[in-house]
Amino acid sequence: MAQAPIALGQAVNRALETAMEADPKVIVMGEDVGALGGVFRVTAELKDRFGADRVRDTPLGEAGIIGTAIGLALRGYRPVCEIQFDGFVFPAFNQITTQLAKLRSRSHGGLTLSVTIRIPYGGRIGAIEHHSESPEALFAHTAGLRLVSPSDPQDAYDMTLAAVACPDPVIVFEPKSLYWSKGTVNQAEADPGRASEVLNRARVLRRGDQVTLAAYGPSVPQALRAAEQLAQTGTAAEVLDLRSISPIDFAAIEESVARTGRLVVIHEAPVFFGAGAEIAARITERCFYLLEAPVLRVGGYHLPYPPALIEHDHLPGPDRIADAVRRTLEF
């Protein structure tokens, strides 16, 4: 019997439910995650099922949420923290980058902190200031953190399970614009032990031999739409879903570039000092004699996130991606 498609946000909910059923040490915590079910209703009904002790509404204080989660993890719990919006994470930046990311190294591996931080991020929802940002590069610069971002419900389900099971802290950047996008989710085949698959490895979503489009999270559907648009003019673009922002699966990118000879990296975050800059530098070093053209980047501009009415001009869409492909084909 075919499974009915579910939304990405609902896939995260089911993954949390699965993790909480399997391990009583898994605790969900954050602002309004209990009775309300979160701003995007991702944690809806979890409090009814598991009670207020395991689905905890916290005060409005992100530093306190992460600080408490660190203490819980040191006592053997597996806290899953929700940051209500991307732009609200910065009060907890110190706790995340100087404590959560460092304690395993500081203790020479004696301490592990299995903390999952869920951050709804990105634009395309017409939100106000501090509600559509993409701060992933700030955290990717910090050693000791894993960063992932799903682009469909199946990966959202698998990544959430793997993040909760991981002994290291994991930040799951959940694309707000994709919360309502639907797809089938095979829960029977999902295995929390597949962390090396969904937390580390990229995947090819579309084959091509002229240019590689590498993207993650909310930019993956845009890359796929651009590939469709390019195909109508005879250009075969390969689409690579990076999945993991830190670590980056450079081997998969190299393998794809060996086939295509060209690379365009896409993300909503500003291209200035963004993840695409690191990818461009590494691939230029490793694939210099395979590249037919410079690596190009398509992303947000180096400015504060704009008002909702003009955010479409700020974010990379199929037209801007296709234009970059045409430029790289001219070399």
- Residue 131 a catalytic site member: yes
Place domain 6-198 in its CATH homologous superfamily: Thiamin diphosphate (ThDP)-binding fold, Pyr/PP domains (3.40.50.970)
* Distance of alpha carbon 260 from the chain centroid: 25
Domain residue ranges of the chain, discontinuous segments joined by +: 6-198, 203-329
Q: Provide the whole-model pTM.
A: 0.96
Could you tell me the two tokens for 59?
Answer: 């005060």
> Which residue type is seen at 89?
V
- Residue 187 main-chain phi, psi, to 5 deg: -75, -25
| Distance of alpha carbon 294 from alpha carbon 257, whole angstroms | 12
pLDDT of 199? 87
Could you tell me the two tokens for 222?
Answer: 């845009």
| Distance of alpha carbon 148 from alpha carbon 263, whole angstroms | 21
pLDDT of 1? 43
Among the listed residues 306, 271, 274, 315, the one whose alpha carbon sits nearest the alpha carbon of residue 130: 306
User: Which one is catalytic: 108, 131, 267, 314?
Assistant: 131
**Residues listed for the chain:** 331
Among the listed residues 233, 226, 234, 232, the one whose alpha carbon sits nearest the alpha carbon of residue 264: 226
Whether residue 78 contacts residue 27, with contact meaning beta carbons closer than 8 Å, is answered with yes
Largest CA distance in the chain: 60
pLDDT of 192? 55
> Which residue type is seen at 56?
R
Q: Does domain 203-329 bear CATH number 1.10.10.10?
A: no
Query: What are the beta bridge partners of residue 103?
Result: none
| Distance of alpha carbon 116 from alpha carbon 66, whole angstroms | 10
Going from the C-alpha of 277 to that of each of 258, 270, 274, 282, the distances in angstroms are 19, 10, 5, 9
Same CATH fold assignment for domains 6-198 and 203-329: yes
pLDDT 10s digits, 145-160: 999 999 999 999 999 9
What does each of the 331 residues of the chain score in pLDDT, given as a tens digit? 457 899 999 999 999 999 999 999 999 999 999 999 999 999 999 999 999 999 999 999 999 999 999 999 999 999 999 999 999 999 999 999 999 999 999 999 999 999 999 999 999 999 999 999 999 999 999 999 999 999 999 999 999 999 999 999 999 999 999 999 999 998 865 565 565 677 889 999 999 999 999 999 999 999 999 999 999 999 999 999 999 999 999 999 999 999 999 999 999 999 999 999 999 999 999 999 999 999 999 999 999 999 999 999 999 999 999 999 999 999 8
Q: Collapsing DSSP states into helix, strand and coil, what is residue 57?
A: strand
Could you tell me the two tokens for 290?
Answer: 């395979």
Residues 6+ apart with CB under 8 A from 50: 20, 28
Buried b / exposed e over 37-53, threshold 16 CB at 10 Å, is bbbbebbbebbeebeee
pLDDT 10s digits, 88-138: 999 999 999 999 999 999 999 999 999 999 999 999 999 999 999 999 999
Q: Any idea which residue has 């990966």 for tokens? A: 155
